[in-house]
Homo-oligomer: A and B are copies of this chain.
Amino acid sequence: MYRTHTCGELRIENAGQQTTLAGWVQRVRNLGAMTFIDLRDRYGITQLVIDDKASAELKAAANELGREFVVQVKGTVRERESKNSKMTTGDIEIQVAEISVLSPSDVPPFTIQNDTDGGDELRMKYRYLDLRREAVRENLVLRSKMAIIVRNYLDSLNFIETETPVLIKSTPEGARDFVVPSRMNPGEFYALPQSPQQLKQLLMVAGFDRYYQIVKCFRDEDLRADRQPEFTQIDCEMAFVEQNDVLNTFEGLTRHLFREVKGFDPGEFHRMPFAEAMEKYGSDKPDIRFGMTFNDITALAQGKDFPVFNSAEYIVAICAEGCAEYTRKQLDALTEYMKRQQIGAKGLVYVKYGADGSLKSSVDKFYDETDLKKWADACGAKPGDLLLILSGEKAKTQIQMGALRLEMARQLNLMDKNVFCPLWVVDFPLLEWDEDTSRWHAMHHPFTSPKPEDIAMLDTEPGKVRANAYDLVINGVEIGGGSVRIFDSGLQAKMFGLLGFTPEQAQYQFGFLMNAFKYGAPPHAGIAFGFDRLVSMFAGLDSIRDVIAFPKNNTGRDVMMDAPSTIANEQLDELNLKVEIKEVKK
């Protein structure tokens, strides 16, 4: 060992002791008579002192030190004259007797402190230096802590951690697979798993009863904001359970994490059907930290002379509390926000419910105060509030209003990062219609079980069939999701049929799972949590990148390693491959 103590360990009780520390030079302050050095390691910072009684040699050595030098020092712990109550080691300092440089350092490309001057690209290129910053490292320490809490919790409930293979069969359902050419099987490819879905279901068929794994998954997608080509799931499956058992088990896990990590209980986990979430929040992942729920005023608002409303399938209002004084400029900005291409609203109607009880709207030409008062009452508005109203095709308008609700919450600071409101969204539709391919897609995945009472509608109104599928949403972020699975090969075959697979395609892609169902498959259900997302939420961060040690950028590159890179022609030959770049995208 190069040290007897870490840099976060020594206290006033250690005064008088000999100690050896090792770490990085955070900074050197040469005050003439005295030199102070802050020595840093993972555990903290300890102040070193070379005072005027020190040897000329030692003083010279101290003067040679630069930021980020790695040094070993021997000395005596002593009480500080001016204590620093902000540091755990702030009561003491080390009177240095000996100092040796273990590794010098060039001047780092950015400063290693929480408020760094390094830009994003520079910090990613030198990620090993970025990770030295306490704020960044603590995110990864939190990740490690959360992982072991999850494991021990699931282990205590008899879940078996089972590693599933990374080199599996390619199944072109869902997102694009990353593939791995097989040298030993020329012309053939493995795929990297988008999730171990079928394998965990096979473990249930195998009688493992309860399975979990914290596992890397892969998706070759064009990276949207905050997506990574490789990401980590807490992946679970249980046999002989119903939906409620899964919800209770993972509510227990989530509650346990909150208690252990954040020191408080998150309270009730509400449950809300998908249909209600869309109706009230215009989102399948509503943020329920605040209200501002939707009010359908279609009936109230139609029948006057406003053609836009009269021709609308749906007219919806939210009440922004205390916003009656919004200026023309603010309202115009909101309208512009709603008209952006990503949202696509045609316009925005408002009603100002003045503190004096007056009601003024952008549609005063068509509606008098009596009309507007009805709308205000329907929204539970009171004087001083602002109504915001959208109309149009129902499904689209709901989503637009969902975006407006979030924007108003941001403007009104309703999204408190220290408040956590967990919510189970349940009863998702089994299928969704894809306009592009003109066929049904599985909303969750093709193994999700329809609700038994809806099975009859599979043949008549497949779009209305609800699934035994559920998502855990916290503060508007989807933390995880899962479903009760089909465990009957007949029903599974029917599902594949609905999804447009020929029996041959289904057999080629999923044959091993359907075959497995022929040998006594137990009822089973499962869930997967996005671990990166979960940790970043617990860390109070907006991006998952900050909880990943070596993340990739949005073209899938690791700029530190400079990966991906070209490989030798001999290696391509061995793999029976030829690179043929048709269009240069770079």
Contacts and interface: CB of A to CB of B under 8 A. Distances in A.
A13 to B, nearest CB: 21
Nearest to A242: B1
A374 to B, nearest CB: 49
Interface stretch (A200-208, A256-264, A453-461): A200-208
B240 A566 contact: no
Contacts of A151: 148, 151
Contacts of A165: 230, 549-550, 552, 558
Interface stretch (A89-97, A183-191, A396-404, A433-441): A183-191
B24 A584 contact: no
Contact of A188 (B41, B166, B565): B565
Interface in A80-96: none
Interface stretch (A214-222, A284-292, A310-318, A324-332): A214-222
B518 A106 contact: yes
A170 interface: yes
A422 interface: no
A571 B172 contact: yes
Residue among A164, A188, A199, A232 having the largest count of chain B Cβ atoms under 10 Å? A188
B41 A209 contact: yes
Contacts of A584: 186
Contact of A242 (B2, B523, B548): B2
B163 A216 contact: yes
A558 B168 contact: yes
A230 B164 CA distance: 10
A521 interface: yes
Contact of A181 (B179, B223, B521): B179
Given A160-B144, A162-B549, A576-B580, A70 B218 contact: no
Contacts of A565: 169-170, 188-189
A550 B131 contact: no
A409 to B, nearest CB: 33
Nearest to A522: B70
Given A165-B552, A180-B180, A558-B169, A190 B563 contact: yes
Contacts of A41: 207, 209, 240
A576 B131 CA distance: 35
Contacts of A22: 240, 522
A188 B579 CA distance: 9
Contact of A563 (B102, B104, B167, B552): B167
A575 B216 CA distance: 22
Contacts of A561: 168-169, 512
A113 interface: no
Contacts of A582: 573, 576
A423 to B, nearest CB: 24
Given A181-B179, A189-B567, A512-B561, A203 B549 contact: yes
- The A contact surface, by secondary structure, is loop
A42 B207 contact: yes
A37 to B, nearest CB: 14
A577 B179 CA distance: 12
A585 B186 contact: yes
A209 B191 CA distance: 35
Interface string A552-586: 10011110111111111001011111111111111
Interface in A141-163: 141, 143-144, 147-148, 151-152, 155, 160-163
A281 interface: no
A169 B131 CA distance: 20
A521 B578 contact: no
The 7 closest A-B pairs by CB, nearest first: A131-B206, A169-B563, A105-B520, A188-B564, A2-B240, A182-B564, A68-B520
Interface of A: 1-3, 6, 22, 24-25, 40-43, 68-70, 102-106, 108, 126-132, 137, 140-141, 143-144, 147-148, 151-152, 155, 160-170, 172, 176-192, 199, 202-203, 205-209, 216, 218, 220, 222-223, 229-230, 232, 240-242, 245, 487-488, 511-512, 516-523, 548-550, 552, 555-558, 560-568, 571, 573-586
